[in-house]
Amino acid sequence: MQPVISFLGAVVGYFDPVIDNIGLFADAFLHTLEIVVYAAVGSLALGTVVAAFRVSPVSPLRWVGTSWVTVFRNCPLTVVLFFCAFGLPEIGINGAYFWFGVTGLVLYTSAFVSEAVRSGINSVSAGQAEAARAIGLTFRQSMGQVVFPQAFRTVVPPLGSVIIAMIKNSAIVGAFGVGNELFSVHATLVSARGLALIPVLLGVAAGYLIITLTGGALLGVLERKVAIAR
């Protein structure tokens, strides 16, 4: 028994840098959670709008939608965030770095959301839209009341993956002036205060795993709820 206890003691001791600063970790965890909640809501909304643009009869809107997806899907997130933090102020848009970080995540993620939603729209059988038109619904009505509600069910799994990817991507925003988020904890504790890096980094990793694994589990439940036999 003795060796087991001393082994456990050593393990706990190893994570002292995390345990001693658990308040800092908790703060940063909540802050990251805040960022990803805003970014999730924003990117779902914006991505849906962009998807609507891409199937719109107005050709400039389609063009905007396509370019939007091409640009933000193919550009590294770091570069997108850079333009939010340093480009927006240059064109006269000032704001808190927190919101610039969220904006960057929203812009980048909206492209992936739009792709998922669009393939969802394409998965709704043509008869549905035709029937909607046959009973005289306008484009907006048929999209809003017939196509989108059905499309959203098919897109729950891919959208979930997109949002979980966004949560992981949020680890980069700390490099662009967004303070006190989870990944930056390692810089504060390790570089400036000289604590051991690896336990701190494992603590940070655990924080992200809590969010992503919980998110994944919730997503599984949601998937089963909305699953429909077609």
Within 72-91, the residues that bind other proteins by CB under 8 A are 73-79, 82-83, 85-87, 89-91
**Beta-carbon-side half-sphere exposure of residue 26 (alpha carbons within 13 Å):** 5
Which of 61, 66, 99, 152 forms a contact with other proteins (CB under 8 A)? 61
Give the Cβ contact number of residue 154 at 10 Å. 21
Q: Which is nearer to other proteins, 19 or 213 (CB)?
A: 213
CB of 1 to other proteins, least distance (A): 27
Q: What residues between 109 and 138 interact with other proteins by CB under 8 A?
A: 109, 112, 115-116, 119, 121-123, 125-126, 129-130, 133
**Spatial separation of the C-alpha atoms in residues 107 and 43, rounded to whole Å:** 7
In this structure, which amino acid lies at residue 225?
A: K
Q: What SS3 state is found at 176?
A: helix
For residue 221, the Cα-to-chain-centroid distance in whole angstroms is: 19
Residue 183 C-beta: closest distance to other proteins, Å: 7
Contact 107, 69 (CB under 8 A): no
Are the C-beta atoms of 111 and 68 separated by less than 8 Å? yes
Q: Count Cβ atoms below 10 Å from residue 12 Cβ, excluding itself.
A: 10
Q: Is 5 an interacting residue with respect to other proteins (CB under 8 A)? A: no
Nearest approach in angstroms of CB 91 to other proteins is 4
Judged by CB under 8 A, the chain residues 199 through 218 that form the site for other proteins are 201, 204-205, 208-209, 212-213, 216
Question: How many residues lie near other proteins (CB under 8 A)?
Answer: 86
CA angle 79, 82, 87 (to 5 degrees): 120
Nearest approach, Cβ of residue 5 and other proteins (Å) = 26
Least Cβ distance, residue 154 to other proteins (angstroms)? 6
Chain positions 149 to 188 lying near other proteins, rule: CB under 8 A, are 154, 157-162, 164-165, 168-172, 174-177, 179-180, 183-184, 186-188
Map residue 75 onto helix, strand or coil. coil
Q: Which of residues 89-108 bind other proteins (CB under 8 A)?
A: 89-92, 94, 97, 108
| Of positions 10, 23, 135, 230, contacts other proteins by CB under 8 A | 230
First-to-final CA distance of the chain: 58
Task: Report 13-42 residues binding other proteins (CB under 8 A).
Answer: none
Cα–Cα distance between 65 and 21 in angstroms, integer? 45
Single out the residue of 26, 191, 218, 220 in contact with other proteins (rule: CB under 8 A).
Answer: 191
- DSSP character for 182? G
